[in-house]
Amino acid sequence: MENETLIPKASTSSVFYSFASIALVIAGLLFFEGIFKPFVVAVLIWFIINKIKLSIEAIKIKGKSCPPFLSSTLALLIVILISLLISELLIRNLEAIAASMPLYVANLKESFGEASALLNDPKYADYMHKWMDGVDFAGIAKTFMGSISGLLGNFVVVIVYVIFFILENSTQKIKIEKLFPKKGKAYKKYMNNMAQISGSIQSFLWQKTLISLMTGGVSYVFLLLMGVEHAILWSFLIFIFNFIPYVGPLFSSLFPAIFAFLVTGDFMKFVYVFAAMEIVQIILGNFIEPKIMGKGTNLGPVTVIVALAFWGMIWGIVGMILAVPIMAVMVIALSQIPSTRYLAILLSEKGNIPEIE
């Protein structure tokens, strides 16, 4: 009799082993975070470098294209130079903010005094002044700069991984042919899975990077027009947080708005800046992004939200950025295993998953 469902029958022991395996994986991700997180970031950066590499090879001089190893090296250098430039700009902006923090605090205290006068309640200003005196703004700024330095340190590890990926790429085809000497059904299935994973992740990263650059660029122009200081820093944060679905754009709009209020002490400045950033996010996110992103990553909204919560808990902001690519790979991998195809269907957007080869 033909099975009426793809969901396999599970015994008590198999359920126990499944939950135990998940617990071990989570423990491993937490314990070996210093190894796995840079590695996964390096894999995703490698996809971007590979796209740049293909673009370089598409440029032909006298009918000849750039050799693969040289094009990979050039693509890597481009990524490194851009990263160093952005890091320098970020550090300078953060140092300027830290140096001006006493002035910002004074402006904020003055605005509290004005609010107390309007409310005709001096206790409001006293309460807020006591709260601010208990906040170590300089310490917060130093902590934030320390986090940036930590990210730069991790970036060095990521670049080392990427360099080894480039060196490994030249022998990858030979190894695969050794694994599948007859190039039969198993070989075709493996190559098809790898092509789907590579195509899905590369397409998502490249298209998301493009729309995020557009969002950051347009936001930068608006921030300059509105007179918000350190616009390059806030537009970069908007670019980064745009990789986090749903919640990322909201939080990235709050940063420049809060800073504008901190500098001027004018609450309406907060409203104007936040509204402007949200308008940019809504227009690009709802009208431009769907045309650029095309078919997307085939993930349901609930899957994305749960993935954001899970990977955010495991690896913080970096985990939230990596959540969508990781889940896209998982759906493709689960779809090729008969006993887990039902999970791929549940995690996908509309239940459309790749057929088993």
- The model's pLDDT over 207-243, given as tens digits with 9 standing for 90+, comes to 888 888 999 999 999 999 998 888 888 998 899 888 8
If pLDDT is split at 50, 70 and 90, which confidence band does 273 have? very high
The model carries a pTM of 0.75
In the predicted structure, residue 320 carries a pLDDT above the cut 90: no
Lowest mean pLDDT among 67-81, 259-273, 288-302: 288-302
Count CB neighbours of 139 within 10 A.
9
Distance (Å, whole) CA 347 – CA 297: 11
Cα dihedral across residues 84, 87, 91, 93: positive or negative: positive
With a pLDDT cut of 70, the percent of the chain lying above it is 80
If pLDDT is split at 50, 70 and 90, which confidence band does 274 have? very high
Lowest mean pLDDT among 50-59, 251-260, 290-299, 322-331: 290-299
pLDDT: which is higher, 147 or 64: 64
Distance (Å, whole) CA 240 – CA 221: 17
If pLDDT is split at 50, 70 and 90, which confidence band does 259 have? confident
Angle at the Cα of 307 from the Cα atoms of 303 and 313, rounded to 5 degrees: 155
If pLDDT is split at 50, 70 and 90, which confidence band does 143 have? low
Of 21, 3, 22, residue with least CA distance to 338:
3
pLDDT of residue 1: 45
In the predicted structure, residue 82 carries a pLDDT above the cut 90: no
Over residues 172-212, the pLDDT tens digits come to 778 887 888 777 777 787 788 777 777 777 777 788 888 88
Q: Is 76 exposed, middle or buried (0-12, 13-18, 19+ CB in 10 A)?
A: buried
Count CB neighbours of 166 within 10 A.
19
Cα dihedral across residues 87, 90, 92, 95: positive or negative: negative
pLDDT of residue 222: 93
In the predicted structure, residue 246 carries a pLDDT above the cut 60: yes
CA distances to 1, 328, 333 from 6, rounded to whole Å, are: 14, 20, 16
Distance (Å, whole) CA 52 – CA 313: 32
Contact (Cβ atoms closer than 8 angstroms) between residue 80 and residue 159: yes
In the predicted structure, residue 51 carries a pLDDT above the cut 50: yes
Six-digit token string for 354? 């790749």
With a pLDDT cut of 90, the percent of the chain lying above it is 6
pLDDT mean across residues, the chain: 78
The full 3-state SS of the chain, as one line of letters, equals CCCCCCCCCCCHHHHHHHHHHHHHHHHHHHHCHHHHHHHHHHHHHHHHHHHHHHHHHHCEECCEECCHHHHHHHHHHHHHHHHHHHHHHHHHHHHHHHHHHHHHHHHHHHHHHHHHHHHCCHHHHHHHHHHHHCCCHHHHHHHHHHHHHHHHHHHHHHHHHHHHHHHHHHHHHHHHHHHCCCCCHHHHHHHHHHHHHHHHHHHHHHHHHHHHHHHHHHHHHHHHHCCCCCHHHHHHHHHHHCCCCCHHHHHHHHHHHHHHHHHHCCHHHHHHHHHHHHHHHHHHHHHHHHHHHCCCCCCCHHHHHHHHHHHHHHHHHHHHHHHHHHHHHHHHHHHCCHHHHHHHHHHCCCCCCCCCC
pLDDT of residue 217: 92
In the predicted structure, residue 291 carries a pLDDT above the cut 50: yes
If pLDDT is split at 50, 70 and 90, which confidence band does 111 have? low
pLDDT of residue 277: 92
In the predicted structure, residue 3 carries a pLDDT above the cut 60: no
Q: What is the Cβ-side half-sphere exposure of residue 25, based on CA atoms within 13 angstroms? A: 8
Distance (Å, whole) CA 20 – CA 291: 42
Contact (Cβ atoms closer than 8 angstroms) between residue 351 and residue 318: no
